[in-house]
Amino acid sequence: MSKTNIENFFEAYIKSKDGKLTIENNIIYVTYSDTCEPETFTYCPNISRENKIPLIAPGSPAFQQVIRDCQETGVPCQIQLCPKENLETSIKHYFKDSKIVCIDCGKITVEQKTFNICIKPKNCYHKINHGKIMQIKIGKQEPVRYFQFFYSVTFHNKLRQKNEELITVWLDEKANVIETNFDTCLDIACNTLSVSEGKGKVKPDVFDQLLEVADETLQSLLRDKVALFDLPLSKERNVRLRAFEKRLKQERREHILSHKHDFDPLKWQNNYQALLKREEESYLTSVSVKLVNFLVINTCKVKFDVLLNNNALFHSSLVLGLNSVVEVTCPLCKKGFTEGYATHDGLYVCGNCVKQSIDSGKLYSKKACLSFDDILNEYIEQGSGFVCSVCRKRYSRLLEFKCSYDGSSVCIQHYDYCDACGNEKIYSKDNLSYTDAFEHKLCPKHKKM
């Protein structure tokens, strides 16, 4: 958290308490209407040490107390997401139709050239290859609401230090769990969306229904998190249980050797099982959960059309602020994709429905009629390439060889060399002759000699 954010947060906190904040010589004076003496704080560690004034900084006791107070007295809040610019410009930020520059992700340098690579679990944009966005047409807009439950969860086991974690559960208006990570989405849209305080109410019965689903989702998450928390403890737990069991058996042996008349083996066995079970239970991880806040997000779902420079038009939709990547449906295979290709035949398709000409390098959809090169196992445009003068089949220009005798075109399977000329000249197999005596291959010129 930057210093500016901390200052803004602390000032908002004092204002919520109906307090007044003034700063003189880097010392913060906070006064309330019901107190006479002001409280003093500071943002500077040096001043805090010299004057023994509470420090407002990440991890400081005073700042942690402010956080705890906010969590305990936090109330349901509501925000409204709106585009700062026009809607077309805001939507365009979700696409990349040029060189990728992912600011928040990784960079690598190869031969003094720097490349940006998106290292997030999901791409933070929809990638358009071999095409440019010409126009975005806005269609229907629908207001939608999402709900976020904030849970403070503490994991405790006597074999390791307790761990505190903030877990959020996202739901839509129909109480469906949303997988989208809101914070990640805001990183993409922070420059194009404005966040303001929203107004509205949530009916009690609706809240109870949402809370029930959120609690069930949290329980499922906690089972996995407890398993991860306990994973590094299993070895140490087994060692301690074996040591405890060994100590109990040692006590039993000592009782038997002491020849005590009041020693009851059956009673000891029952106590042994109870003690062993209690010891095992003492190593179980305990979890404490507290609902600390409830957030309502008001935004809108926008349907739109995108026109590319190859005259391809595709439809899509997104929820402003809550979509990290736009998914488009392929017109051929009808599957969604987040990286597509603008083809030479005027379509926008996914990577599985595209094919490329080996001759020109142009991209086409699978719907386009292209010729197939059997040798290269690649496509070429119809009418392009060349026709072999021997086998009469069409091939890519990459396989074309010119006969030195008559200039005819031959493929890689139907050319050869003259034994007299050597490897200096290429001939069509139709223009080579074979001698009966030595089975030599001769071109027309050496055949006459």
**pLDDT tens digits, 297-330:** 898 899 999 999 999 999 999 888 776 678 899 9
Task: Give the list of residues 6+ apart from residue 324 with CB closer than 8 angstroms, or none.
Answer: 120, 122, 123, 124, 180, 181, 184, 185, 188
pTM listed for this prediction: 0.62
pLDDT band at 187 (very low <50, low <70, confident <90, very high): very low
Position with higher pLDDT, 116 vs 401 = 401
d(CA 374, CA 118): 38
pLDDT tens-digit map of 328-339: 999 999 999 988
Most confident region among 132-136, 158-162, 355-359, 385-389 by mean pLDDT: 132-136
3-state secondary structure the chain: CCHHHHHHHHHHHHHHCCEEEEEECCEEEEEECCCCCCEEEECCHHHHHHHCCCECCCCCHHHHHHHHHHHHHCCCEEEEEEECCCHHHHHHCCEECCCCCCCCCEEEEECCEEEEECCCCCCCCEEEECCCEEEEEEEEEEEEEEEEEEEEEEEEECCEEEEEEEEEEEEECCCCECCCCHHHHHHHHCCCEEEEECCCCCCHHHHHHHHHHHHHHHHHHHHHHHHHHHHHHHHHHHHHHHHHHHHHHHHHHHHHHCCCCCCCHHHHHHHHHHHHHHHHHHCCCEEEEEEEEEEEEEEEEEEEEEEECCCCEEEEEEECCCCCCCCEECCCCCCEECEEEECCCCCEEEHHHEEEECCCCCEEECCCCEEEECCCCEEEECCCCEECCCCCCEECHHHCEECCCCCCEECCCCEEEECCCEEEEEEEHHHCEECCCCCCEECHHHHCC
Q: Can you tell me the mean pLDDT for 392-421?
A: 86
User: For residue 340, what pLDDT band results from cuts at 50, 70 and 90?
Assistant: very high
Environment class of 6 (CB within 10 Å of its CB; exposed 0-12, middle 13-18, buried 19+): middle
1 pLDDT band (50/70/90 cuts)?
very low
pLDDT of residue 12: 86
Q: What's the CATH code, domain 369-449?
A: 3.30.40
Per-residue pLDDT of 38-59, as tens digits, reads 889 999 889 998 888 999 988 7
Q: How confident is the model at residue 140 (pLDDT cuts 50, 70, 90)?
A: very high
Whole-number Å distance between alpha carbons of 273 and 267: 10
CA distances from residue 425 to 205, 405, 410 in whole angstroms, order as listed: 89, 9, 13
- Determine the pLDDT at residue 365: 92
Q: And the tokens for 69? A: 């107070």
Paired with 169 in beta bridges are: 149
Return the amino acid letter for 414: H
The whole-angstrom separation of Cα 172 and Cα 179 is: 11
pLDDT tops 80 at residue 66 = yes
The share of the chain scoring above pLDDT 70, in percent, equals: 88
pLDDT in tens, 87-98: 888 888 888 887
Q: Are 152 and 166 in contact (CB under 8 A)?
A: yes
Half-sphere exposure of 135 (CA within 13 A, CB side): 8
d(CA 427, CA 416): 6
Residue 229: the pLDDT is: 84
- pLDDT score of 120: 60
| Interval 136-157 mean pLDDT | 90
CA gap 341, 354 in Å, rounded: 7
User: What percentage of the chain exceeds 90 in pLDDT?
Assistant: 18
Q: What is the mean pLDDT of residues 157-170?
A: 85
In this predicted structure, the answer to whether residue 347 has a pLDDT above a threshold of 90 is: yes
Model pLDDT for residues 259-291, shown as the tens digit of each residue: 666 777 778 888 888 888 888 888 888 898 988
